[in-house]
Chains A and B, each alone.
Chain A
Amino acid sequence: MSASLTLVLLMSLMYAVGIYVMMERSLTRFLIGFLLVGNATNILIFLMSGPNGNAPLWTGGPEDADMVDPLPQILILTAIVINFGITAFVLALIYRTWWLAQLGDEGDTLPDDHAHDTEEDAEEAFRQVDEDDEAIQRVLDASNEHEDDPEPDPVQTARDTEVGR
């Protein structure tokens, strides 16, 4: 089996850098490392597909013999999609961690913390959180990022149940 030396070197480099970056405590660094290692793995799958050849289209002609192995490409495609989804989730997680770091314990809206609160106490606590959240939202809007929050927003949910009562 022949393999491209450039790709092997690239893969090793991505693995090395990726794993090194993953060792960091910061979740953002971890994500970068994860992306590098994930794509290095994709290159590994690609390398395992054997020699280069024609595009994997069945023509019925003699060139079909030189067809490249299509299966690893499907595997890579699937792996890319999965990594994409996971990346989106980890980004949401990073956003949430940052949000909690900004708010401290206020960010915890476990219902237990407020079990003995009166209605007004709860209103007050949620109002503060709401304001912080809105401020964060304004900053996000200003930086022209995507508005959707893929995580369920506990504040919103809490407010909904309040209204529901």
Chain B
Amino acid sequence: MNALVPLVVTIPLLGAAIALIFGQRPRVQIFVSLISLTLVTAIAAVLLVAVDQTGTVTVNVGGWAPPWGIVLVVDRLSAIMLLVSALMLLGVLIFAIGQGIVDDDNETPVSIFHPAYLVLSAGLFDAFVAGDLFNMYVGFEMLLAASYVLLTLGGTGARIRAGVTYIVISLMSSLLFVGAIALIYGATGTVTIALISERVRELPMGVQAILCAALLLGFAVKAAVFPLSFWLPDSYPTAPAPVTAVFAGLLTKVGVYAIIRTDTVMFVDVPLRIPLMVVAFFTLLVGIMGAVMQADIKRLLSFTLVSHIGYMIFGIAIGGDIALTATIFYVVHHIVVQTTLFLATGLVERVGGSTSISRLGGLLKAAPFVAVLFFLGALNLGGIPPFSGFLGKIGLFQAGVEEGSWLSYVLIAAGAATSLLTLYALARVWNMAFWRSRGEVEGYQSPLLESLAESPEDSGTVATKQTSRLMVGATTGMVGLTLLLTVFAGPIFGYAERAAAQVENVENYISAVFPEGSP
């Protein structure tokens, strides 16, 4: 069982190497990527079951025991993150392959897509299984470096401009992260998370708070927490649709995952509740205000992405079993739904030739199936019962009520408002792009379309493109997954509850890493 853990990182890396060698043969590349990600998905599923039944799995890489060696830790939280991200990566890969086939490999071009995609996967998985901070940093760097390549794919002017913002911000956050690791090493003499957790408690509270703040600052940039979220809506939407989908679904959630680890394992004593609640409040509201203003669907979704990170931060801020359960469930829900919606938008762009709601129309008639796919995702994101978005929010609000401070009531109000505004923004997309007939678009007057901001990179309506069965099939599969999340919400909530209990139990984490007592 333990031998499976390093494989989630090594298989994609090996796949990336092979895909790079066969750069001139797209079919081999597709084959290698599919095999690698399918294998990882299978391993993640096995790990999930095993970890759920027998408890945390740890691996000392190279046989070196921590704190000298690198330790990989898979607990229930890591396992579910691994499985969900592997499924997302696989689904989006199939979508990208479909798009590549239709476009004759022009849009998702060139030999570099598959290797970069696999390196991104490896980095992502590495960050989830890392048992020491520095390894987590390496995982972050792997996925970021690959994301730079994917974001600037094709090297067109718009993508380079968007890429520069993203790359500069990401590099700054990485520097903050390494700086924080250096300071933590100076204070505790270790980078193993379990040992940090133990030793940090002996430090004066002031030092703890500074170390924690330094670390959280780096993660907050990645998770796009207000006020460090300004870069996201400017950089994500310009990438090709599948790339945006992966970024939106997964990259911010690595930041959220790291924040969960920081708050619950490493810096247990630091009182983060109030500062986190305040940033969650602003993340929720500022994000959704931005979303309401957008005419471009991709930008709109990017803003809702930022906004909904606030829910997760809210859950982390409250802490405790109920809130963490709801947070974990919400993270899973949000990864799946956000990725799906971006894929559906990718289909809309191909069918309608644009992503601006001021120019789209008649899509319900033109592409009824795509409309259904978008509709289901939109309802889910907006939190309409009985979808999983509703269940996640209910869980969070319940935890907030239980906590009972006036601040958490304010946040519940903000959360409900955000949910309604999300629904408003998405319903408007539905009204304009799908319900309005094609003939009405010219000279259409509506208060709904007043003072909307178009995307700065807007290039007007372009020719519509074919969608392949593979693309629609991949999106359908993902929508099916969001529905499964709703149908099997009970078992998943149960799992999230066990995962939260495990995350809360720090001693358990430490004894899993150091079975013979910590040094």
Q: Which of A's residues lie within 8 Å of B, judged by CB?
A: 1, 22, 27, 30, 34, 37-38, 41, 44-45, 47-49, 69, 71-72, 75, 78-79, 82, 85-86, 89-90, 93, 96-97, 100, 105, 107-112, 115-116, 151-152, 154, 157-158, 161, 165
| Chain B residues closer than 8 Å to A90, beta-carbon distance | 167
A96 to B175: give the CA distance in the assembly, Å: 24
If the complex has contacts A75-B181, A116-B463, are A111 and B152 also in contact, measured as CB distance less than 8 A?
A: no
Query: Are the C-beta atoms of A112 and B462 separated by less than 8 Å?
Result: yes
A1 to B189: give the CA distance in the assembly, Å: 12
Query: Are the C-beta atoms of A107 and B181 separated by less than 8 Å?
Result: no
| Chain B residues closer than 8 Å to A89, beta-carbon distance | 145, 148-149
Say how far A129's CB is from chain B's closest CB, in angstroms.
12
- Offer 7 A-B interface pairs, CB within 8 angstroms, sorted by A: A27-B164, A34-B171, A48-B183, A90-B167, A152-B109, A152-B112, A157-B110
Binding-face segment, B154-162, B421-429, B504-512: B154-162
Q: Which of B's residues lie within 8 Å of A, judged by CB?
A: 68, 103-107, 109-112, 134, 138, 141, 145, 148-149, 152-158, 160, 163-164, 167-168, 171-172, 175, 178-179, 181-183, 185-186, 189, 191, 459, 462-463
Query: Are the C-beta atoms of B103 and A111 separated by less than 8 Å?
Result: yes
| Chain A residues closer than 8 Å to B153, beta-carbon distance | 152
Query: Are the C-beta atoms of A110 and B134 separated by less than 8 Å?
Result: no
A69 to B104: give the CA distance in the assembly, Å: 55
If the complex has contacts A41-B175, A48-B183, A72-B185, are A93 and B157 also in contact, measured as CB distance less than 8 A?
A: no
If the complex has contacts A75-B191, A89-B149, A154-B109, are A44 and B182 also in contact, measured as CB distance less than 8 A?
A: yes
If the complex has contacts A93-B152, A157-B110, A158-B106, are A79 and B157 also in contact, measured as CB distance less than 8 A?
A: no
| Chain B residues closer than 8 Å to A72, beta-carbon distance | 182, 185
Query: Are the C-beta atoms of A151 and B155 separated by less than 8 Å?
Result: yes
| Chain A residues closer than 8 Å to B462, beta-carbon distance | 112, 115
A109 to B153: give the CA distance in the assembly, Å: 12
Say how far B343's CB is from chain A's closest CB, in angstroms.
19
Other 4 A-B pairs with CB < 8 A, given A44-B179, A75-B185, A112-B463: A82-B141, A154-B109, A154-B154, A157-B105
Query: Are the C-beta atoms of A109 and B156 separated by less than 8 Å?
Result: yes
| Chain A residues closer than 8 Å to B104, beta-carbon distance | 161, 165
Interface core residue of B155, B168, B171, B462 (most chain A CB under 10 Å): B155
A85 to B123: give the CA distance in the assembly, Å: 15
Interface core residue of B68, B158, B181 (most chain A CB under 10 Å): B181
Query: Are the C-beta atoms of B106 and A152 separated by less than 8 Å?
Result: no
Say how far A19's CB is from chain B's closest CB, in angstroms.
9
Say how far B202's CB is from chain A's closest CB, in angstroms.
16
Query: Are the C-beta atoms of B138 and A110 separated by less than 8 Å?
Result: no
Query: Are the C-beta atoms of A48 and B185 separated by less than 8 Å?
Result: yes
Say how far A38's CB is from chain B's closest CB, in angstroms.
6
Query: Are the C-beta atoms of B160 and A100 separated by less than 8 Å?
Result: yes
If the complex has contacts A34-B171, A78-B138, are A41 and B163 also in contact, measured as CB distance less than 8 A?
A: no
| Chain A residues closer than 8 Å to B172, beta-carbon distance | 22
| Chain B residues closer than 8 Å to A41, beta-carbon distance | 175, 178-179, 182
Say how far B456's CB is from chain A's closest CB, in angstroms.
15
Say how far A107's CB is from chain B's closest CB, in angstroms.
6
A57 to B255: give the CA distance in the assembly, Å: 38
Interface core residue of A22, A71, A107 (most chain B CB under 10 Å): A71
Query: Are the C-beta atoms of A100 and B148 separated by less than 8 Å?
Result: no
- Which among B134, B141, B149, B183 is the interface contact of A75 at CB below 8 angstroms? B134
Query: Are the C-beta atoms of A85 and B185 separated by less than 8 Å?
Result: no
Q: Please, which residue of chain B has its CB at the minimum distance from the CB of A38?
A: B175
Q: Please, which residue of chain A has its CB at the minimum distance from the CB of B170?
A: A86
Query: Are the C-beta atoms of B175 and A110 separated by less than 8 Å?
Result: no
A32 to B141: give the CA distance in the assembly, Å: 19
Q: Please, which residue of chain B has its CB at the minimum distance from the CB of A95?
A: B155
| Chain A residues closer than 8 Å to B110, beta-carbon distance | 152, 154, 157
| Chain B residues closer than 8 Å to A69, beta-carbon distance | 189
Say how far A161's CB is from chain B's closest CB, in angstroms.
6
Q: Please, which residue of chain B has its CB at the minimum distance from the CB of A37?
A: B175
If the complex has contacts A41-B175, A41-B179, A75-B191, are A93 and B111 also in contact, measured as CB distance less than 8 A?
A: no
